[in-house]
Amino acid sequence: MITAFKQVILALVVLVALSASSWASETNARALELAGQKNFSQALTLLANEDAQTKAGYDHRFLKARILSWSGQYNEANAELMALSRDYPNNADIQVARGNLAYYQGKLPEAEMHYTEVLKRYPQYQDARTGLENVRKAKAAKRSNGRRTWRLDGSVGFSDFSRVKQSDWDEQFLRAEYAPENLAYHGSVQRYKRFGKTDLEIKGGISDAVRGGWDWGVEVGATPNATFRPDFSAGGRVGRAIETDNGTVLYPNVTYRYDDYASGDIHNIQPGVMAYLDNGVVLTGRLIGTVSRNEKDQLGWLVQGRVPASDKLSVNLGYAKAPEAINGVAVTTESLFGGVSYAVRDNLDLHVNLARDDRENSYIRNSVNVGFTYKR
């Protein structure tokens, strides 16, 4: 009797489980149908009304992530897929979905990485092969049609002083960059008027024009008949872009510059890191050090942030307390600076920047700089 009773209970449990599974399958099928009709909100609402046990299942979570991705809710989709990746680390379907999500967002290197990893294990996985082909087509189209090979930057700046009187300063700057393929070549000229004298500084350099992975650049400059600018300068940078699981891109880097003044040489070293958040915010932190035979070594720091205020307008603000070289002498300077950039067109930006520099035991300098960036 007891055995027969147990068998009846087991049969009922199996029947209920099969019924629940069938109901969940029907719900998923209906949600998929709604998503195919672009009724994403209805599809997600239908999934949200399922019971807790169903919501914890793989099928529900994976379908929800895909619908979020299709509807353009990329941050939410990424969070779901990252959670699934932790629970199912070797699941090829999840990795392909992550590749698709990266592709939708225009993150082509990331999408290519996901598809390639899947194809290493499953060479015949058709969705991964299709995704990889789409990425390569998008890259080719971007190189041939969307790539802007020329960039022109220009600005004019003015300064006045308090506490210790100086003659007003002004400067003009023009820089051209040409990036036909993987390398960018640039040249610049900057005219400085300070201390009642004028110097013209000329620079040229080459850098990596491809974003992502390792990044580098070198530059040399000279000031003919220099009076307060360095006679010769040379420097470079190296860094690496690292994309984290939450979509933030970190860019640790270090820059170095050697300035040869008539009064002596100065070495400037700046290790730092930039963080590009997925909401468009950019944060920067940097150490600034100078080494000179004529002075004691100095070390300072800088922090800066840039925030998009709208599709066209961005605002930046920063603070620094670091050595600044003027006329061959590096002195600790406390700086508060900020500005705005406005995208007039997709290839033309205008900039206005303000700064207040408090040079230790010397002057306070207030400056304004107006500039533009043009790409074609």
Between 116 and 189, residue with greater pLDDT: 189
362-375 average pLDDT score = 96
In sequence order, what DSSP letters do the residues of 317-337 get, joined into one string? Answer: EEEEEEEEEETTEEEEEEEEE
pLDDT at 145: 55
pLDDT band at 4 (very low <50, low <70, confident <90, very high): low
pLDDT at 75: 86
Rounded Cα distance between 237 and 219, Å, is 9
**pLDDT exceeds 60 at position 303:** yes
- DSSP three-state, residue 61: helix
Tell me the per-residue pLDDT of 148-166, one tens digit each, with 9 for 90 and over: 689 999 999 999 999 988 8
pLDDT at 147: 59
Between 174 and 50, residue with greater pLDDT: 174
Out of 99-108, 210-219, 316-325, 329-338, pick the least confident: 210-219
**Mean pLDDT computed over every residue of the chain:** 86
pLDDT at 15: 37
320-339 average pLDDT score = 93
Rounded Cα distance between 102 and 117, Å, is 14
228-234 average pLDDT score = 96
pLDDT at 23: 43
Taken as a whole, the chain contains a residue count of: 376
Within 10 Å of residue 91's Cβ, how many Cβ atoms?
Answer: 15
State in words which class domain 2-145 has. Answer: mainly alpha
Contacts of 265 (CB under 8 A, 6+ apart): 258, 259, 292, 293
pLDDT at 369: 98
Rounded Cα distance between 38 and 46, Å, is 14
188, 195, 198, 266, 330 from 201: Cα distances, Å: 8, 16, 10, 17, 19
Say which amino acid occupies 259: D
Residue ranges of the chain assigned to CATH 1.25.40.10: 2-145
pLDDT at 105: 85
Tell me the per-residue pLDDT of 9-41, one tens digit each, with 9 for 90 and over: 444 433 333 344 444 577 777 777 777 777 788
- Contact predicate 259/265, CB 8 Å: yes
Tell me the per-residue pLDDT of 263-272, one tens digit each, with 9 for 90 and over: 889 999 999 9
pLDDT at 76: 86
Place of tokens 């190296």: 238
Residue ranges of the chain assigned to CATH 2.40.160.40: 148-375
Between 36 and 97, residue with greater pLDDT: 97
Helix (H) or strand (E) holding 80: helix 74-87
284-308 average pLDDT score = 93
pLDDT at 3: 56
59-73 average pLDDT score = 83
42-56 average pLDDT score = 78
* CATH number for region 148-375: 2.40.160.40
